[in-house]
Amino acid sequence: MSFRHQYVIGDLQGCHAAFEHFLKKLNFDPKQDKLWFTGDLVARGEDSLNTLRDVKALCEQGAAATVLGNHDLNLLAVWRGATKIRKKDKTAPIFAAKDKDELLQWLRQQPLLAYPDEHTVMVHAGIPPHWTLDEAELYAKQLEAQLQGSLYQLDRMLPHLYSNTADDWHDDINGFTKMRAIANYFTRMRLCKQDGTLEFSFTSSLDDAMPDDFAPWFEWQVPRERKILFGHWAALKGKIDLPHARALDGGCVWGNHLMAYRLSDGKVFTSSAKCPMP
């Protein structure tokens, strides 16, 4: 199917009112257009429940697609009892909703990596410099199989996805350690070394001092056949636009804007409505 316009939109974070206003600004028509979301559909905005409902409905119409972000994985972990709701998250209404199981069963079927068009690839946080695109796709499918499998399989894995110790990637990595590392690269990565070693404490802008030998993952010069469209790093405010990478988290949930990247020409649109500060 050919679309009039396709847009890749950064982290919604449950900013439902801003999202609704943005769709009007884009003159979005679900019968003619398609939206691609970089993940983190929920968490700290004012209405994660209806944001999740709306994105699910659009996806089921064929008018949208999404990848999973770290807050989406956390939502699944809360659902399955692997962790508790974080104090700053406003996701409790999801778990009180009659359709919670339908929403979360749908959410766990979503991918970690998607191809919006022949020139781009979309993930939540990024693709590390030591992975080729083919490897990234393979590892995404491995973790997706665990997330989309039986509930028994899901319940066994989810508790192992949480650790502030970055796992070293090596040829013999396997089991839950491998699944956690894959999840960390796709949904939590900001800084890394050229060999893929991750650092989790840094969440600031590029103007701030970084740990020795670490750099933003997109600054390592690796040939890429597709432009990587990503969200996650709100402090960048969507200002990174490189030949191989484009940041799209405008930090709406922090009082800034939603961002949309039009695939046909790379033009970026920003929302006029802002999300109330969490």
Per-domain boundaries in the chain: 6-270
Res 277 pLDDT > 70: no
The CATH number, out of the four listed (2.102.10.10, 1.10.1760.20, 3.60.21.10, 1.10.287.130), of the domain defined by the range 6-270: 3.60.21.10
Res 189 pLDDT > 70: yes
Res 278 pLDDT > 60: no
- DSSP SS3 for 61: coil
Query: What mean pLDDT is reported for the chain?
Result: 94
In this predicted model, what pLDDT tens digit does every residue of 131-168 receive, in sequence order?
Answer: 999 999 999 999 999 999 999 999 999 999 987 778 88
In this predicted model, what pLDDT tens digit does every residue of 240-273 receive, in sequence order?
Answer: 999 999 999 999 999 899 999 999 999 999 998 6
Q: What's at 45, amino acid-wise?
A: G
- DSSP SS3 for 138: helix
In this predicted model, what pLDDT tens digit does every residue of 197-223 receive, in sequence order?
Answer: 999 888 888 888 888 889 999 999 888
E strands, the chain, in order? 6-9, 34-37, 64-66, 120-122, 191-192, 198-199, 215-216, 227-230, 241-242, 245-247, 259-262, 268-270
Ramachandran area for residue 9 (φ above 0: left; ψ -120 to 50: alpha; else beta): beta
Task: Label residue 60 exposed, middle or buried (CB < 10 Å: 0-12, 13-18, 19+).
Answer: exposed
pLDDT bin (cut points 50, 70, 90) of residue 196 is very high
Res 59 pLDDT > 90: yes
Q: pTM here?
A: 0.96
